[in-house]
Amino acid sequence: MKQLIVAIVAALAPAVVWSAPYELVIRGGRVLDPETGLDATMNVGINQGRIARISAEPLTGTRTIDAKGLVVAPGFIDLHQHGQDEVSGVLKAFDGVTSGLEMEIGVPDVKEFLTRKSGHSLINYGTTASHAAARAAAFGSPLAGDDLIPQSGHATNDPATPEQVRQMQSRLNSEIDAGALGIGMGIQYVPGATRQEIIHIFQSAASRNVPVFTHIRSVGRKEPGSSIESVSEVIGAAAVTGAPLQIVHINSTCLADVSDCLAMVAGAKARGLDVTAEAYPYIAGMTSINSALFNPGWQEKFGIGYNSLMLPETGERLTQARFDELHASPKSQGVVLFVNRQEVVDGVIANPLTSIASDGEVGHPRNAGTYSMILARYVRELRTISLIDAIRKMSLMPAQRLEKATVSARRKGRIQEGADADIVVFDLATVKDRATYEKPNERSTGMKFVVVNGTVLIDKGALVPGVLPGKGIVSNDQ
Ligand SMILES: [Zn+2]
């Protein structure tokens, strides 16, 4: 009789086949979801890459992870990850990043990027369409090799003709068709772009309802060309076109004026504009020494000298002669710039308006340590951010930033039934970044388990060999 009842119940309600085990159960962790405010001891059941059940009742799994004493949170989403190589993928995973996207600049060829990464990525990936690449192509000098940003020259420093702007718009449109999640604009890398060109490119993003991610035109206090002017330009372009806007690494492009820059973002939001900002928790930046960022006047803008520049490979601090040699070379060379003060960085990271994004690439410790540093320094040591707000800055806020470009982002950045099973399980007492400027490739520690699309890729703190569960995150229009 009992068996018969079970059979009838199972037949009538196949959605509640309670006896079936889940593929994976994360048992007894402190489960956090920043959207609903959930912060409780729960069991999480995972099937077919999604969170199928969250319950205080015991769940049966083909495999069960014991998360007692550990935090269970949505995997971190890094919207500013230049390094899309294998080394970076591993470093990101150990830092709790389950999605790493190239949004600031964008790759030069979206279709090629998505094809190359498909089936070969530890973590989820995606990209914007590149304004810089579209501009270089319109000037007849397409980007070389793996370069994301052009070398300083005609294609970066000269204004475009109306026909060239139309060519850029046409290319950016087809890149969005190919799956790009927005338009990346490194305006400081193409100083020849007029305000008019910028507005036209914002119009392209608005017409497709995808966000613009931008490294603003300039930095510092000197007018014209201050950080404040540069923030005004992009908020103005967002206001008149309707394009959603994310100002990237507001820490390093606003420096000592970052409170005023964030007040401008708050003001824009208060007036109904979709404007957001992100930051990374390091005092140094990194970029190409051959780029237009080092056009004449850079020392005054950044308030630094040659000695504040460091080669990541050797730790060599530059002199004028060495700078001139490297800047003039046709070979692209990364350089670390010590531009910011720790108290400025600490303020911007704790501000509720900023999400966290690493600006990661090999050679800078932010590639490996950004997210663990947020947990170790700001949550555990300084106590300037609560744990759930830190999780919000690293998962929910970046997911929400992507939602206009792709409905699939509504399943990211959440521990909810139906969400993608991108999950981190970590020990808040020990999680720690270990990468330094001298040793930028040191893995973070404390991530006990990292799950991407339901597949465990860090298991008891060790990388699982042979799994590549990362998937492309692409625009609705693809
Ligand atoms: Zn940048």
How far away, in angstroms, is 359 Cα from ligand 1 center? Answer: 7
Query: Would you say residue 476 lies in a domain?
Result: no
Query: Would you say residue 468 lies in a domain?
Result: no
CA–CA dist 442, 434 (Å, integer): 6
Choice between 342 and 477, residue whose per-residue pLDDT is larger: 342
How far away, in angstroms, is 12 Cα from ligand 1 center? Answer: 56
How far away, in angstroms, is 375 Cα from ligand 1 center? Answer: 24
Would you tell me how many other CB atoms lie within 10 Å of the CB of residue 330? 7
How far away, in angstroms, is 287 Cα from ligand 1 center? Answer: 7
User: 280-292: buried (b, 16+ CB within 10 Å) or exposed (e) per residue?
Assistant: bbbbbbbbbbbbb
How far away, in angstroms, is 79 Cα from ligand 1 center? Answer: 12
Per residue in 146-195, pLDDT (tens digit) is 889 999 999 999 999 999 999 999 999 999 999 999 999 999 999 999 99
Picking from 130, 211, 135, 208, the residue whose alpha carbon sits closest to that of residue 166 is: 135
- Which CATH number does the domain housing residue 153 bear? 3.20.20.140
361 plus 450 within the same structural domain: no
How far away, in angstroms, is 218 Cα from ligand 1 center? Answer: 11
Query: Would you say residue 429 lies in a domain?
Result: yes
132 plus 258 within the same structural domain: yes
How far away, in angstroms, is 82 Cα from ligand 1 center? Answer: 10
Query: Would you say residue 361 lies in a domain?
Result: yes
Residue 312 has pLDDT above 80, yes or no: yes
Tell me what the pLDDT averaged over the chain comes to.
95
Query: Would you say residue 469 lies in a domain?
Result: no
Q: Is 245 in contact with 234 (CB distance < 8 Å)?
A: yes
**What's the token pair of residue 241?**
């076109």
Q: Quick one: angle between helices 195-208 and 162-177, nearest 10?
A: 30
Residue 294's Cβ-side half-sphere holds a number of Cα atoms within 13 Å equal to: 28
Share of the chain above pLDDT 70, in %: 95
How far away, in angstroms, is 26 Cα from ligand 1 center? Answer: 38
Q: Which amino acid is at 445?
A: T
Query: What is the torsional sign of CA 135, 137, 140, 146?
Result: positive
User: 215-231: buried (b, 16+ CB within 10 Å) or exposed (e) per residue?
Assistant: bbbbbbeeeebbbbebb
How far away, in angstroms, is 128 Cα from ligand 1 center? Answer: 14
339 plus 406 within the same structural domain: yes
How far away, in angstroms, is 312 Cα from ligand 1 center? Answer: 17
What pLDDT score was predicted for residue 6? 45
Q: How confident is the model at residue 145 (pLDDT cuts 50, 70, 90)?
A: confident
How far away, in angstroms, is 418 Cα from ligand 1 center? Answer: 35
Strand pairing category for 124-130 and 97-107: parallel
What pLDDT score was predicted for residue 313? 94
Q: Is 51 in contact with 25 (CB distance < 8 Å)?
A: no
How far away, in angstroms, is 417 Cα from ligand 1 center? Answer: 36
127 plus 208 within the same structural domain: yes
How far away, in angstroms, is 263 Cα from ligand 1 center? Answer: 21
Per residue in 22-73, pLDDT (tens digit) is 999 999 999 999 999 999 999 999 999 999 999 999 999 999 999 999 999 9
CA–CA dist 443, 65 (Å, integer): 22
What pLDDT score was predicted for residue 18? 52
CA–CA dist 150, 30 (Å, integer): 46
How far away, in angstroms, is 333 Cα from ligand 1 center? Answer: 15
CA–CA dist 459, 399 (Å, integer): 25
31 plus 158 within the same structural domain: no
How far away, in angstroms, is 133 Cα from ligand 1 center? Answer: 15
How far away, in angstroms, is 53 Cα from ligand 1 center? Answer: 40
Q: Which residues contact 18 (CB under 8 A, 6 or more apart)?
A: none
What pLDDT score was predicted for residue 259? 98
3-class secondary structure for 355-403? Answer: EECCCECCCCCHHHHHHHHHHHHHHHHCCCCCHHHHHHHHHHHHHHHHC
How far away, in angstroms, is 250 Cα from ligand 1 center? Answer: 9
How far away, in angstroms, is 283 Cα from ligand 1 center? Answer: 14
Per residue in 388-417, pLDDT (tens digit) is 999 999 999 999 999 999 999 999 999 999
Q: Which amino acid is at 58?
A: P
Q: Which residues contact 245 (CB under 8 A, 6 or more apart)?
A: 202, 211, 212, 214, 234, 235, 237, 238, 273, 274, 275, 276
How far away, in angstroms, is 32 Cα from ligand 1 center? Answer: 31
CA–CA dist 419, 176 (Å, integer): 25
165 plus 262 within the same structural domain: yes
What pLDDT score was predicted for residue 58? 97
How far away, in angstroms, is 11 Cα from ligand 1 center? Answer: 57
Element (H, E) at 473: none
How far away, in angstroms, is 253 Cα from ligand 1 center? Answer: 8
What pLDDT score was predicted for residue 19? 55
| Domain stops at, among 378, 410, 442 | 410
**What's the token pair of residue 351?**
């501000």
Q: How confident is the model at residue 478 (pLDDT cuts 50, 70, 90)?
A: low
What pLDDT score was predicted for residue 9? 45
- The count of structural domains within the chain is 2
Residue 1 has pLDDT above 60, yes or no: no
Q: Is 302 in contact with 337 (CB distance < 8 Å)?
A: yes
How far away, in angstroms, is 104 Cα from ligand 1 center? Answer: 7
Per residue in 246-292, pLDDT (tens digit) is 999 999 999 999 999 999 999 999 999 999 999 999 999 999 999 99
Query: Would you say residue 103 lies in a domain?
Result: yes
Per residue in 2-20, pLDDT (tens digit) is 444 444 444 444 445 455 7
How far away, in angstroms, is 142 Cα from ligand 1 center? Answer: 20
Segments forming the whole domain that contains residue 45: 2-74+417-463
Query: Would you say residue 474 lies in a domain?
Result: no
What pLDDT score was predicted for residue 228? 98
How far away, in angstroms, is 215 Cα from ligand 1 center? Answer: 5
114 plus 225 within the same structural domain: yes
Mean pLDDT, residues 408-427: 98
121 plus 171 within the same structural domain: yes
- Which CATH number does the domain housing residue 441 bear? 2.30.40.10
Strand partners, 462: 459
What pLDDT score was predicted for residue 4? 46
Residue 219 has pLDDT above 70, yes or no: yes
32 plus 119 within the same structural domain: no
How far away, in angstroms, is 146 Cα from ligand 1 center? Answer: 17
48 plus 120 within the same structural domain: no
CA–CA dist 364, 436 (Å, integer): 8
How far away, in angstroms, is 83 Cα from ligand 1 center? Answer: 13
How far away, in angstroms, is 304 Cα from ligand 1 center? Answer: 17
Mean pLDDT, residues 68-92: 98
